[in-house]
Amino acid sequence: MNDKIYRSLLISIFLLITVTVSAQDLDPRAYVRVPIEMTVLVAGFGYTYGSVVLDPTSPIQDLEAKVETPMIGVGRTFNLFGLTSQAFVALPYSWAQASGKVFGEDSSTTRSGFGDTRFRISTLLFGAPAATREEFAKSSPQTVLGASLTVIAPTGQYFNNKLINLGTNRWSFKPELGLSYVISNQWFIDLYSGVWLFTDNKSFYPGASVRTQEPLFTFQTHLSYNINPLMWAAIDFTYYTGGQTSVNDFYKDDRLNNSRIGATFNFPLSRLSSLKIAYSTGAIIRFGGNFSTISVAWQMAFF
């Protein structure tokens, strides 16, 4: 049984990152214990659709968008001063079709290109000392406290004379604390709390404007169940607040106070590979974020 539990956790390490707004992440089991000296490859595809409410002063209104995003990523677990740690990098590519009203007139546009590169490093601070593959196979699940830092680099396609872009032309940083609590051999609950911090976009539309964004606070809860030692499902919820923006020191009435719900299902394809399917949608929307996302990711682990 220990070896089966080991395999189920092994194929549940990294999650598909396909969303277009950083605050909407829904990542169940992001802080479970895993063995060190392991590499994970991830290939996935995400589809986002729905309406987005932009800044009240923006010339674009009633925006409807469809975004297809394939992604490839790689991660590695390692020993950091005796603690289990992980590093992950992902690069998305997107095709987007958007339509709306510009100055009251119907308009549409398309975009295709690379999105912003995403990095994440995490360390399990309590309940998960670094363990080799053999040591991990002898252990049992336990409550874990972890911390992570996610960085989004401005590598994506960006036009300073366009309002709709695949890249953000700024750096984003999210420090986060996460608790993975073991209720029983079948039930887990995850609790995360983090904050997104943003640098300024100094080339915002129409080309020389400066766009700033205040910190955006995020909270996640996930309840997951082991259907069997190799298969699990989760119900996901996130709430985020803050993030008011300004353009040339003129603040907009766009402070977020939104929540999203979703579900994730993971099932095995082989001993060290799995397929993860996820869906999320807006639950309570004050401003922006009124869209849905479906994603599929294939994951393979190597020692």
pLDDT digits (tens, 9 = 90+) for 46-71: 998 887 655 544 666 677 889 999 99
Residues 27-55 as b/e (b if ≥16 CB within 10 A, e otherwise) read bbbbbbbbbbebebebebbbebebebbbb
Token pair of 288, please? Answer: 């922006």
Task: Name the H helices within the chain.
Answer: 2-10, 133-137
Q: Report helix, strand or coil for 4.
A: helix
CA 104 from centre of chain: 34
pLDDT in tens, 242-294: 999 999 999 888 888 889 999 999 999 988 899 999 999 987 665 556 789 99
pLDDT in tens, 142-188: 899 999 999 999 999 999 988 788 899 999 999 999 999 999 989 99
**Are the beta carbons of 61 and 100 closer than 8 angstroms?**
yes
d(CA 35, CA 86): 10
d(CA 283, CA 127): 33
pLDDT score at 100: 78
pLDDT in tens, 11-60: 343 333 333 334 457 889 999 888 999 999 999 999 988 876 555 446 66
Q: Enter the pTM of the model.
A: 0.88
Token pair of 176, please? Answer: 């986060």
Q: How many other CB atoms are found less than 10 A from the CB of residue 150?
A: 21
CATH architecture of 2-302: Beta Barrel (2.40)
Distances in Å between the alpha carbon of 262 and those of 1, 45, 125?
Answer: 30, 17, 28
Token pair of 126, please? Answer: 């309590």
Has residue 223 got a pLDDT over 80?
yes
**Are the beta carbons of 49 and 291 closer than 8 angstroms?**
yes
pLDDT score at 207: 87
Can you tell me which residue has the tokens 């922006």? Answer: 288
Averaged pLDDT for residues 126-155: 91
Q: How many other CB atoms are found less than 10 A from the CB of residue 154?
A: 15
Residue 189 burial (C-beta neighbours within 10 Å; 0-12, 13-18, 19+): middle
DSSP per residue, 65-108:
EEEEEEEEEEEEEEEETTEEEEEEEEEEEEEEEEEEEETTEEEE
Has residue 116 got a pLDDT over 70?
yes
**Are the beta carbons of 96 and 164 closer than 8 angstroms?**
yes
Element (H, E) at 1: none
Q: How many other CB atoms are found less than 10 A from the CB of residue 145?
A: 15
107: β partners: 100
